[in-house]
Amino acid sequence: MKINRRRFLLSSALVGGGVLIGYTATRPSRHRRANTELAGSGESFVTSLIKIEADNTVTIYVPHSEMGQGVHTSLSMMAADELDADWERVNIEQAPAIDLFANGDLVTGFAGELGAPSFLAPLISVSAVKIAELANLQTTGGSSSVRFTGEHSMRYAGAAARDLLVQCAATRWAIPAAECTTALSYVHHNATGRSLSYGELAAEAAMLEPSTEPVLKSRDQYNIMGKAMSRNDIPAKVNGTAPYGIDAQPEDMLYAAIRFAPVFGTKLVSVDAGDVLSRRGIKKIVQLEDSVAVVADSYWRAKEALKSVDAVFEELGNENASSASIYEQFDASLAADDSDEDREIGDTQAAFESAADVIEASYRVPYLAHAAMEPMNCTVHLKDGRADIWTSTQDALGIKSRIASILGIDAENATFHHSYVGGGFGRRLPFNWNVIDHAALIAKEFDVPVKTVLSREDDLQQDYYRPAVASNFKAAFDASGLVRGWHNRFTGPVQTPGAAHIPYAIDNQSIRVVDGTTHVPIAAWRSVDHSQQTFFTESFIDEIAHRAGKNPYQFRLDLLSGHPRHRRVLETAAEAAGYGRNLPEGHALGIAVQESFGSVVAEIAEVSMDENMRPVVHKVTCAIDCGFAVNPDTAASQIESGIIFGLTAAMYGEITIEDGRVAQNNFPDYEMVRMATSPEIDVHILESDNTLGGFGEPATPPIAAAVTNAIYILTGQRVRELPIKNHDFGKPSLAKA
Amino acid sequence: MANFKVNGEDKTLDIEPDMPLLWALRDELGMTGTKFGCGIAACGACTVHINGVAMRSCVTPVSAIEGQEITTIEGLATAAAGSNPSNPALTAVQQAWIDHQVPQCGYCQSGMIMAVSSLLAQNPNPSDAEIDSSITNVCRCGTYPRVRRAIRSLATA
């Protein structure tokens, strides 16, 4: 299968390439370039990510986008801890979008996992040498920042810088380096009571080459990591001063409102702009291959004028596509079973031929939009062969390079202006180029800056969606009631290898993927394939448990003897949620567990049905084995966030296709969990000896099945198609587990 | 001409009477703390105070606020001076947002803080049901549990 081949290439490249860990941060002479290009008077880069000033201020450069996941703070904590810096005197800077701060450790980190996520795929089919460079990558995604960049770059940068500072102090004092200690941005020689600040040593240290293999601290030596530190981005986010891409206001800026071909993949044929150009503030109508834009001196004027512009788009045959026709296509594809292997274990065919009982179920989930709160936008200023770019992105270097190529200039002649990101969730990853491409093409027509902003309607209708997926299951029981066969066929593509795999000890498994390609563009959406696949697998395992007459919690534990992390999070969540104890009348608990992005998460949803037989989620208890939480409060925030994001999808989320185009327009028909529907969330972070797991995504996958498994107990109805809002639960049933 | 006050300052703008206040603030006055989220009053990202009461500026034409007092997130601390003696640059609500580490991406939080400030000014100790019915802003990052915690800390203070 293609994905396995890709993984093989990447892994062998790493083996052949030797030790790459820490390379990004401590590659020979990287800091020299930083000193030449970025250091001011009295400032010295000791490693490329760490700048120390004569007054002993330490500045840490973070090569990731801050989207509210607290990554600027968490990554700085990792470098500062290894450096033995005084946290009170650490400044945090967004690393500029230049190749010096490419974050290629993301790719090397994913090589150690089952496979790289799809958004990196186009980048990792290159040679081993190129992998070390990855000059155009500064990506934030895959719950990877802390566990890969943090572990493989930031800590190495801190530790290597500390070693150099110690070496310089030891040279000055003419003593062995081993006699020196460090604390709070000072080197000490305790025997003689001498001390030197890092600031006094930095200029000398910057002349030396950092080690690529410094010794890192063990967990018991951490002073900063593991403590709940306040995030540095929050103060600006409570008084309106935090800059987002959409807030860019360079002088003489114009604004573009844009209308896309409503049916994906079609092209603009003709435009009738009427009297629009004579209206106040309207500067130009720009026709692009798949869209038309109005450029004006105000966004509102552009947006209003666009309503009066008639545009004709070609018809290519997708105008008749609908959600119903797409599901029919999926069903036909599943029936034909022209499939690729995802996982085959044992002899599944034999297990079904000898089965005493078989159950079957068909599941579906719809397309979903990302709907980040900050509508998609991009501001570009092209003048005299140079460009300035402002946008909220999950990959600043990639965007810069893309826009430069569209403008026909070298990327070195483009400056990317960083901002905070008003929600990413996968929408702002590389290769989701709409808006970026359009903004560049529109701006190319002017020598003043042009800000292109999508309306919320276009943001929902011109997204790259979480794929709709259909998944069919069969389970075989033997005469003693044991489950012996697991048969699963689902529509692809596989964006995250392994998401459909189950941890349960079932001897015979046949998991295969069939074609699910449609004209609807798709991309990564928070937790990628895990959000759909976990709903499917954790629902069907629940069906199996009920069919076997077993308690769904105990049934899972019995099949997880080889997975202690899964058992531990299940047991912790069950204990905290009061599983097996008395609940309020009419309440039930639903369970789900999934491993993703290096963390194992169990969630238990406490649900009841209201007087209208609509489900109410009262509380979600979550236990996560993440190895170690660098900033525990931020980690808890991310878990709360992931649960609510997944709950919105489970309860309300659907992008439907009618006449080839998206039917939803704005939040009223793409509803969200709000205060009134947000459950209490109880988070339990379990540390372990395992390597660091992610936080941004792993809490999203289990919630849908946790809720629908509870609904089954309450109503006897098995929800096999999301969202839950579309189900009629009728009158209360007596089915109780 | 549109005339209104923003954070205590008189503003006169030569703009169309049907231009929504949101765009007058952002594009005409360059005040970007108030955010565009949906344009149809469905998400609350654009919430400001008009004469002290939370309103959604994306559907409020400037003709409807002639001569009135607008407070935006940038002017909240001045407008609510004295609410947070330990740090006059922030209101008690803003301080609680830091103490409880509420914002994530932060894009919706200007509107969220304006909505909560208005609620607490009218009802200093709201019940959960009152919070639920008053605070209808969308936060895609799901900061709701922390929003509730921060409101609770203010209500019981």
Considering the domain boundaries, does residue A324 fall inside one? no
Q: Please classify residue A437 by burial: count the beta carbons closer than 10 Å to its beta carbon, then call 0-12 exposed, 13-18 middle and 19+ buried.
A: middle
Both A199 and A294 in one domain: the answer is no
Cross-chain residue pair A373–B139, CB shorter than 8 Å: yes
CATH number at residue B35: 3.10.20.30
Interface check A698 vs B, CB under 8 A: no
Residues 54-73 of A with CB under 8 A from B: 67-70
CB A678 within 8 A of CB A578: no
Picking from A66, A229, A282, A373 by the largest number of B CB atoms within 10 A of its own CB, the best residue to mutate is A373
Both B58 and B19 in one domain: the answer is yes
Q: What is the C-alpha to C-alpha distance for residues A180 and A178, in angstroms, rounded to an integer?
A: 5
Q: Which domain holds residue A588?
A: 517-726
Identity of the residue in B42, B107, B133 whose CB atom sits nearest the CB atom of A668: B42
Last residue of a domain, one of A235, A259, A294: A235
CATH number at residue B107: 1.10.150.120
Identity of the residue in B136, B140, B148 whose CB atom sits nearest the CB atom of A372: B140
Continuous segment of H or E residues that includes residue A555: helix A552-558
Read off the pLDDT of residues B8-58 as tens digits, 9 standing for 90 and up.
Answer: 999 999 999 999 999 999 999 999 999 999 999 999 999 999 999 999 999
Cross-chain residue pair B74–A373, CB shorter than 8 Å: no
Considering the domain boundaries, does residue A495 fall inside one? no
Residue A228: CB atoms within 10 Å: 12
- Residues of B within 8 A of A257 (CB-CB) are none
The ipTM of this complex is 0.98
Cross-chain residue pair A68–B105, CB shorter than 8 Å: yes
Cross-chain residue pair A634–B143, CB shorter than 8 Å: no
CATH number at residue A630: 3.30.365.10
Both A634 and A712 in one domain: the answer is yes
- Residues of B within 8 A of A71 (CB-CB) are none
Both A208 and A280 in one domain: the answer is no
Both A212 and A268 in one domain: the answer is no
Phi, psi (degrees; rounded to nearest 5) at B83: -75, -20
Last residue of a domain, one of A193, A213, A235: A235
Tokens standing for residue A138: 């500064």
- Residues of A within 8 A of B34 (CB-CB) are 240
Picking from B97, B139, B140 by the largest number of A CB atoms within 10 A of its own CB, the best residue to mutate is B140
pLDDT confidence of residue A104: 60
Q: What is the C-alpha to C-alpha distance for residues A180 and A697, in angstroms, rounded to an integer?
A: 42
pLDDT confidence of residue A731: 67
Both B112 and B125 in one domain: the answer is yes
Both B98 and B119 in one domain: the answer is yes
Q: What is the C-alpha to C-alpha distance for residues A325 and A321, in angstroms, rounded to an integer?
A: 6
CB A560 within 8 A of CB A504: yes
- Residues of A within 8 A of B32 (CB-CB) are 240, 243, 246-247, 249
Both A308 and A213 in one domain: the answer is no
Both A19 and A158 in one domain: the answer is yes
Cross-chain residue pair A239–B33, CB shorter than 8 Å: yes
Last residue of a domain, one of B27, B54, B72: B72
CB A685 within 8 A of CB A630: no
- Residue A679's nearest CA partner among A639, A722, A626, A735 is A639
Both A185 and A112 in one domain: the answer is yes
Picking from A297, A300, A419, A670 by the largest number of B CB atoms within 10 A of its own CB, the best residue to mutate is A300
Q: Which domain holds residue B118?
A: 76-155
Last residue of a domain, one of B72, B105, B120: B72
Cα-based distances in Å from A218 to A181, A210, A222, B42: 16, 20, 7, 50
Identity of the residue in B38, B94, B148 whose CB atom sits nearest the CB atom of A238: B94
pLDDT confidence of residue A101: 78
pLDDT averages per 10-residue partition of chain A, 737 residues: 32 31 54 82 85 95 91 96 98 88 60 48 38 54 78 88 96 98 98 97 91 90 97 97 98 98 96 97 98 98 98 94 98 98 98 98 98 98 98 91 96 96 93 94 98 97 98 97 97 94 98 97 95 98 97 98 97 97 96 96 98 97 96 97 98 98 96 98 94 92 98 97 96 51
pLDDT confidence of residue A14: 32
Helical ranges in B1-157 per DSSP H = 21-23, 76-79, 92-99, 109-122, 128-134, 144-155
Considering the domain boundaries, does residue A472 fall inside one? no
Picking from B13, B105, B130 by the largest number of A CB atoms within 10 A of its own CB, the best residue to mutate is B105
User: Residue by residue, what is the 3-state secondary structure of A568-628?
Assistant: HHHHHHHHHHCCCCCCCCCEEEEEEEEEECCEEEEEEEEEEECCCCCEEEEEEEEEEEEEC
Both B106 and B131 in one domain: the answer is yes
Determine the residue of chain B that is closest to A255 in CA distance.
B27
- Residue A27's nearest CA partner among A106, A125, A105 is A105
CB B41 within 8 A of CB A667: no
Both B91 and B144 in one domain: the answer is yes
